[in-house]
Every structure is written in structure tokens, then in C-alpha cells.
Amino acid sequence: MGIRGFVQKYVGMNPNPITRKTHEAHSRTRGTSVDISICPYCAVGCSQLIYSKAGRIIDIEGNYESPINGGTLCPKGAATYGLVHSPYRITTVKYRAPYSDHWEERPLDWCMERIAQLVKRTRDASFEEKDENGLTVNRTLAIGHFGGATLDNEENYLIKKMWSGGLGIVAVENQARI
């Protein structure tokens, strides 16, 4: 009689050390769909696996098949899930009036209209077709644009095309260095 039979016969215990709960436990990503994406935070471009269940992102991890990051993410990239679901994420427009010491909430439409009016006014007042040497420049040096790193490639492409190609704004920058 082996030890398993001995225990079952004389002690009456289940010799299997794994409980039903442990046996039924599974990975939190089981049953999810997975999409491949790029970390939005910096120009290293680490690849991420985005796990979703019932239309909701439930986990974001490094992609093991990526030659760039080989399944790893730095602490910032590993916190990308919070970018999607953090309750601390600000989702309303904040406006600080000139000389004010506090932020106010404003409707998005109001802010878009104000930005458009200020850009138009400033560009009209500062646009240069030629520089001091007579070279064609078609530019304004009075407006700058600074984008956040969570803007994706397509958004950055459109921003650069609109601001520089369309409006002649030279100072277009992004934390991810487009």
C-alpha cells in the first residue's frame, strides 16, 4: 500500500493537497480577448497586450513577442491601466482665466470656441509670408503647441499637419518627441 492509499484508508483525508478553490483558480486574463498596442507614454515604443472582457479593458501587460521590450514595461508603462480606469483621471475641461489664481470648469464647446478665436486673432496679427531676407516662410512665431505623450501616432500626425502645414506654426512639440 502506498502512502496515498494508507492515508485514505487509515486517516480518511483527501491526500490531494490542492483544494477545490485552488484547483478552480485561473489566470485573471482567461476568457479575455487580447489586442496588441503601443505604450502611449514615450518614444521607446514598448509593445503592450490589452486584455478585454465584455467590452471593458481589464489588464494591460508587456508583449513578450516585442523585440523592443520583450514582455517588460517600465513603472510608467506598467501603470497604463490607470490611464484608462483611474477614478482620479480628470475628465472635464479646466480653465484658468488671465490673472486668476484658480481653475474653473467650462463646457468643452466654450473652450474649443475660445481656443479657435485666440488662434485666429494671434495668427492674423503675427503671420509672416517673408522673413527679413525676403525668403518665403509662411509662418507665425507667436503660437506654440505642446502635446502630451498619450497622443497616439495618428493624432500627432494630424496635429503636425494642421498646426505646421495648415497654420504655419513652427513651435510644435510633444513629450514623446514627434
From candidates 31, 45, 148, 166, binder to ligand SF4 by CB under 6 A? 45
Residue 71 as a binder of ligand SF4 (CB under 6 A): the answer is no
Number of residues that bind ligand SF4 (CB under 6 A): 11
From candidates 7, 42, 119, 151, binder to ligand SF4 by CB under 6 A? 42
**Cα angle vertex 161, ends 159, 164, to 5°?**
90
Residues 6+ apart with CB under 8 A from 72: 46, 62
Residue 74 or residue 167: which is nearer to ligand SF4 going by CB? 74
Residue 44 as a binder of ligand SF4 (CB under 6 A): the answer is yes
Determine whether 83 is exposed, middle or buried from the number of CB atoms within 10 Å of its CB (0-12, 13-18, 19+). Answer: middle
Q: Which stretch binds ligand SF4 (CB under 6 A): 15-23, 66-74, 111-119, 129-137?
A: 66-74
From candidates 53, 76, 106, 160, binder to ligand SF4 by CB under 6 A? 76
Rg of the chain over Cα atoms, rounded to whole angstroms, equals 28
Residue 77 as a binder of ligand SF4 (CB under 6 A): the answer is yes
On the CB side of 56, CA atoms within 13 Å amount to: 3
* Cβ at position 77, least distance to ligand SF4 in Å: 2
- Nine-digit cell string for 65: 513577442
Residue 73 as a binder of ligand SF4 (CB under 6 A): the answer is yes
Q: Are strands 136-147 and 128-130 parallel, antiparallel or unpaired?
A: antiparallel
* Cβ at position 50, least distance to ligand SF4 in Å: 13
- Reduce the DSSP state of residue 77 to 3 states and report it: helix
* Cβ at position 172, least distance to ligand SF4 in Å: 21
Check residue 43 and report its DSSP letter.
T
Q: Which spans of this chain sit near ligand SF4 (rule: CB under 6 A)?
A: 39, 41-42, 44-46, 69, 73-74, 76-77
